[in-house]
């Protein structure tokens, strides 16, 4: 069995980071006296987790066979994330022709955390290519 330490480390990092961010996010909403579970916040964290782990896993597992195409895979993954945003979140967020701060944050906070961690780990993958 191949050594997949980086993949396991990625899963642990993304899971812990999103769990902590979700907790902090709920604390901030509570402090602002906003509803905690509005704006599809749980769905947003779950979808971002599933997408980022799937995309990173695919890139990681195909890193040796498709060295020159990894950037394309990353861009396609980003496009898929935006597609999910526009299909699942944007219609309800924009129903009143206004996306407020809590709606924006419910998607953007987990998305940005996932993007930062994914980018960091993909840089490690690229650095370690043969």
The reported pLDDT for the residue numbered 86 is 87
Q: What is the DSSP letter of 12?
A: H
Lowest mean pLDDT segment, chosen from 7-21, 24-38, 42-56, 81-95:
81-95
Domain count, the chain: 1
Confidence of residue 93 (pLDDT cuts 50, 70, 90): confident
The reported pLDDT for the residue numbered 1 is 47
pTM here? 0.91
Contacts of 4 (CB under 8 A, 6+ apart): 60
The reported pLDDT for the residue numbered 2 is 63
Confidence of residue 89 (pLDDT cuts 50, 70, 90): confident
The reported pLDDT for the residue numbered 55 is 97
Domain range holding 44? 5-127
């Amino acid at each position: 069995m191949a050594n997949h330490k980086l993949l396991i480390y990625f899963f642990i990092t993304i899971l812990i980071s999103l769990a902590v961010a979700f907790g902090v996010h709920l604390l901030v909403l509570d402090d602002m006296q906003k509803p905690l579970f509005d704006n599809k916040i749980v769905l947003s964290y779950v979808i971002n987790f599933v997408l980022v782990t799937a995309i990173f896993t695919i890139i990681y597992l195909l890193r040796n066979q498709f060295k020159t195409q990894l950037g394309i895979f990353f861009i396609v993954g980003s496009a898929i994330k935006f597609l999910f945003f526009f299909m699942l979140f944007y219609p309800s967020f924009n129903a009143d022709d206004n996306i407020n701060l809590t709606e924006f944050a419910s998607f953007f906070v987990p998305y940005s955390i996932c993007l930062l961690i994914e980018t960091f780990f993909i840089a490690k993958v690229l650095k370690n290519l043969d």
